[in-house]
Structure 1
């Protein structure tokens, strides 16, 4: 099928988009000269199965993530397929694609429109890894024989390639619309002539639960000698001189070909250098919300963690413009900017709360965009008509509650979403025992939201549902005195053990404490959990557990555990699906391409956000409550700057690797005797001063937040 696009209409649409893009980019421009971006290393977490990340060029929350795809060593049966399309330890280049999931499971998703220039007869180019570079918004590598220098940058909806050819000769550029990191679906080319090529790409979403379709258009800085097309692939042939450059601008759209071409045409009218500078400025502004002083390696790990936390969900439409909904129909972003691309089973724990804290303005649009999925046929994972790659959307009720209580969800949207959220919690799971715990937490979130909105009857109903897990817990999780409590993926479990899942009712910990005997019994079990190496920092089910000590009156244990896991080599007994025969020893968060524990996926910024929050010393241990547990920061001074202009400073006086225990604290000059702060206390600005020492102060921080037990709750 051929689609004819009126060139004047495309250029007119591009002119309209210029205004929108300039508005978006103007929000990113940062006049500070601290150059925080120099502390970001996009190669962290990109090697093997140590994060499943990519150095792709992208903007904060950009749909386009333009980067290299590498080939897996087919001779190595144990070599994992890179979920992001890229493995730092491979030098075999497949090409450069425009979308990818960052750090998620199964085999990832994305890979829209693979582009690969090469000299004729250079079938599988080799990358010169010594010349490979990446920084926020930019990637470059030399590859092939003769050598070609590839440079990549991106805007929110377009990717720009610049290729420099080192030798005079005939060059062919492959455009593969059928390329995908997951299972490909029917894709095709709609036009290939002159200086452009149009087409569409379709593939399954992560873990093959749904599917997406994206339109793509490439505009070249000059027309090729010839085009050859075959199904979803095309080859453009050029005669290039040594030192000559070719620029390829690729626009994406979930709506249609015309918008994709307009995005491409827009970027083709700007210089490559200016786009790189705009991308760096965008990242400087977003990362500049957090400023820290301290060890350069730790700063690099923190800012890279924040960089990875600021990539999903991604921007799909400016306010007032159209976008494709999850039902396949055109929608209008009538209230604010629209975002898409979810991995909520992971991100609700850390990444979404981090964004609620650091960027509530953008987070409001994200939370509303999530709520909009309910009217579009929201599924626990994905629909068959998604506008782009996505993972899963369970735990939306918890995200909505957390957003509502932190100013990231308006009353009208909350009321509209409440019946859907209640139905989602009630339908959650497939009867597995770990899902009984997860469903209970979501029922609690619905009850709390209903209570906040004044619907006490609905709140009481879901509070009652939120404790129905207790019989399951008593039967399956109460006892850990058996040989299988530390085994991964027992029947009824998912990527975790009895030991790791038993704590996952953060809304009802007081009942758990009483259920095991009261007194110090639960604390003693927690000590066994950590002392015996049952904790798994490499996956999500138990990442909140170090903070449970603070609730149980042992905040110094929280301080010690989180500081050591953030900064020191530790024994790690667990991967994703099994317990190791002997522990892997190393830092959980490293400043290197092997940046995570083996088999530890970053999961759309979830684990990076755990590190960032823990490194700053504030953690949302019960997501949905506007509270943050305090722990030992790893920086002597940190500053959070909010859109309101207010600044919250955390100063850790006398901090060192040995002296990482809080001795006393003050908030805005007044003594602070509790190991937690409210959301408002932080976002209102102020100063938290922590006096650090080498031994625990077992008398500080013993005041508990309000009980997390749901027994006999009312809305009063």
Structure 2
């Protein structure tokens, strides 16, 4: 999810757990992650300190003005504004950046200044960056050495000032810059110095998540000599607090360099009590190094689920960094006492053991990130499934779309919480799926349900069988993705015992065919009267300006946006040979795009776009028409060409770990074309050996005998020592644990998994093959 949506929006598994076994000595930990991968180019990641899936992401902010600053940080900026406590990873829309701390010397400067001219404000050039899981450090040009670490709900800072006076500026007005389509403002804020020396504050923000609120409680290891508040217009305010909209406070230390200043800050979206309680529960001492060690240990446990050998040193670094990026979110959104803000904007208290989460980038992450979590997440995955069910019950819009900090942004198209739930059910993850059905049914069948951008045209989709291109923008992509969500929704209807609802959704999941023109072999826009929209060019973005018929894609890419009925698409194209030829044409077409194409269409191989999610399953489609060897060759090419161990090494936005999860699963040798099917299509493993600790405590070993850069092809597979002829493997089988062994070769074995009985099986006219 990236710039296109930013510009277009109008507003608004299962198994008994066993003790984890020790890893075999032959498989090496893949090394330390490089947290600067993705901080350049358009990866939109951040290098700061956080815990796995933590509430706090304490990280440097280098800019707020450009699209490249969606995470608050970009490797090319060259100066740091300060260090704020909340960030998004890999998104194409910016928000968060709450509670900025600016360590400074000399006179107080209240304006940040433009990124082009650091000397015009409180920005600082910097050197000596260090970033590792749970820790970040940098030296600013004023001589301050800044270090950051975190607990789940608190940020911990340590500042070493040079000799002399210094101050900490807390800028509560800091936010991602205003944009025409996303006016950013704060309508209410407050700062207070409490009697015990705790600085508390709150603000209500309007940008992407409109009306979200943050509370914080901040304590200092040293008592400042003076505290100066600043109100709106940067006017000094006397007393122990200030209220308004754009607020700041400076805490002065006459001998700042005499000893390090440690800052600990708890946050909450619920209230000031929640922020104080989080701080009290998780930050009880002043030893920065202890917090750092605790964070490092947590990350060691998190990243120890993967061990690899073989490949290059860079590929091993990319792998563990991908696992790190796939462990940042969704982010914790419930306080230590269980209170959280629901999508109904009300405060709820969870039962013991439950957790709430924010920043579900579901249009992106249902494809690979959530399938990865079903393999390795264990109890946390079950908590997320429970959380999505609760959010479905709370939201007036039905299933979550892109929930952020208790606000439904409605970003992207469809309602892709449903495939995440349906996948979990298909994989045997226990949850009360029937409880989600009323919300899904409202979204699917009741046109009086409030509508955001994600569900425009659903009434016509139901009655006509497609979203009409002359009434609703992005009509082709909407039809295709609504059909996939119907396919998933039918599984939840089954869980609820609603046979009629399930039948209706299964029938409607075939609507993809109504925007596929068999005469030309492409998906295309269709008008309300049934005629095809003219003119048509599969490289173009629609029959009118501004990407009208497609979502971050064009006709080439949208034609293959059918994850649930690939056999039906093959038949519509004229059979196996025609389908294979069409895929060949996709990857061989000129990589040209219209001048107004969104930057999301990136990482091109022909017209395949790896830099954005609608293409992510496409290389695996060859397996469905008996040409698995072409899947193997193309997947290996994508693994080696689209990922680099460099700041610009992620093609496109990382999208809350989706781009990283694609790498991880593909490097292991399998990928979920249709997550709801609970099947993984076999590809081309990247490493000679990989070990994955599964969420139930068992161990999955993937061996690739004879693997080499020039040997991407599979000539045979075995599972637990037995020959495996299928071109796919199911989730339940993998969760048993064991060794999946590939025999690799330099020349393709065109017979491998070519027989129809060995190909991946999905849906044709609602019946599983």
TM-score when normalising by structure 1: 0.86
In structure 2, C-alpha distance between the alignment counterparts of 1:473 and 1:154, rounded to whole Å: 50
The 5 Å alignment of 1:483-494 reads 484-488=537-541, 490-494=547-551
In structure 2, C-alpha distance between the alignment counterparts of 1:710 and 1:156, rounded to whole Å: 46
For 2:240, the equivalent position in structure 1 comes to none
Tell me how many residue pairs correspond in the alignment: 654
2:742 to 690, 702, 709: 690
> Alpha-carbon deviation of 1:242?
3.4
The 5 Å alignment of 1:322-337 reads 322-334=339-351, 336-337=354-355
Q: Given that residues 586 and 607 in structure 2 are in contact (C-alpha distance below 8 angstroms), is that contact kept between their aligned partners in structure 1?
A: yes
Distance 1:32 1:184, change over 3 A: farther
Deviations 1:33-62 (A, max 9, x none): 999585201111102x43011001001000
For 1:607, the equivalent position in structure 2 comes to 659
> Alpha-carbon deviation of 1:454?
4.6
The 5 Å alignment of 1:123-272 reads 123=109, 124=121, 129-145=126-142, 147-168=143-164, 170-181=165-176, 183-193=184-194, 195-204=197-206, 208=208, 210-231=210-231, 232-242=247-257, 244-265=259-280, 266-272=282-288
1:281 to 289, 297, 316: 297
2:644 to 590, 596, 599: 590
For 1:544, the equivalent position in structure 2 comes to 617
2:384 is aligned with 1:369: no
Q: Given that residues 516 and 523 in structure 2 are in contact (C-alpha distance below 8 angstroms), is that contact kept between their aligned partners in structure 1?
A: no
Q: Given that residues 362 and 402 in structure 2 are in contact (C-alpha distance below 8 angstroms), is that contact kept between their aligned partners in structure 1?
A: no
Equivalent position SS for 1:433: helix
In structure 2, C-alpha distance between the alignment counterparts of 1:475 and 1:195, rounded to whole Å: 71
Q: Given that residues 37 and 287 in structure 1 are in contact (C-alpha distance below 8 angstroms), is that contact kept between their aligned partners in structure 2?
A: no
2:403 is aligned with 1:417: no
Equivalent position SS for 1:200: strand
> Alpha-carbon deviation of 1:637?
0.2
In structure 2, C-alpha distance between the alignment counterparts of 1:318 and 1:644, rounded to whole Å: 27
Distance 1:303 1:564, change over 3 A: same
Q: Which stretch of the first structure deviates more once superposed, 173-182 or 153-162?
A: 173-182
2:767 is aligned with 1:713: yes
Q: Given that residues 212 and 387 in structure 1 are in contact (C-alpha distance below 8 angstroms), is that contact kept between their aligned partners in structure 2?
A: yes
The 5 Å alignment of 1:616-631 reads 616-631=668-683
Deviations 1:592-626 (A, max 9, x none): 111123xx111111111111111111111111111
Q: Which stretch of the first structure deviates more once superposed, 381-390 or 626-635?
A: 381-390
Distance 1:37 1:187, change over 3 A: farther
Distance 1:347 1:243, change over 3 A: same
Distance 1:671 1:36, change over 3 A: closer
Q: Given that residues 128 and 141 in structure 1 are in contact (C-alpha distance below 8 angstroms), is that contact kept between their aligned partners in structure 2?
A: no
In structure 2, C-alpha distance between the alignment counterparts of 1:406 and 1:270, rounded to whole Å: 45
In structure 1, C-alpha distance between the alignment counterparts of 2:175 and 2:425, rounded to whole Å: 37
Deviations 1:639-686 (A, max 9, x none): 111243311111000100001111111111111111111101111011
> Alpha-carbon deviation of 1:507?
1.1
For 1:584, the equivalent position in structure 2 comes to none
Q: What is the RMSD of the two structures over their aligned residues, measured on CA atoms?
A: 2.8
Q: Given that residues 667 and 685 in structure 2 are in contact (C-alpha distance below 8 angstroms), is that contact kept between their aligned partners in structure 1?
A: yes
2:574 to 513, 517, 521: 517
Q: Given that residues 210 and 385 in structure 1 are in contact (C-alpha distance below 8 angstroms), is that contact kept between their aligned partners in structure 2?
A: no
TM-score when normalising by structure 2: 0.80
Distance 1:243 1:663, change over 3 A: farther
Q: Given that residues 37 and 136 in structure 1 are in contact (C-alpha distance below 8 angstroms), is that contact kept between their aligned partners in structure 2?
A: no
2:62 is aligned with 1:90: no
Q: Given that residues 363 and 401 in structure 2 are in contact (C-alpha distance below 8 angstroms), is that contact kept between their aligned partners in structure 1?
A: no
For 1:463, the equivalent position in structure 2 comes to 506
In structure 2, stretches of 5+ residues that fail to align are 1-18, 110-120, 178-183, 232-246, 448-454, 458-466, 468-474, 525-534, 590-605
Distance 1:338 1:445, change over 3 A: same
Equivalent position SS for 1:624: helix
In structure 2, C-alpha distance between the alignment counterparts of 1:691 and 1:42, rounded to whole Å: 34
Equivalent position SS for 2:372: helix
Distance 1:614 1:470, change over 3 A: same
> Alpha-carbon deviation of 1:241?
4.8
In structure 1, stretches of 5+ residues that fail to align are 1-26, 569-587
Q: Given that residues 68 and 86 in structure 1 are in contact (C-alpha distance below 8 angstroms), is that contact kept between their aligned partners in structure 2?
A: yes
> Alpha-carbon deviation of 1:31?
12
In structure 1, C-alpha distance between the alignment counterparts of 2:336 and 2:123, rounded to whole Å: 43
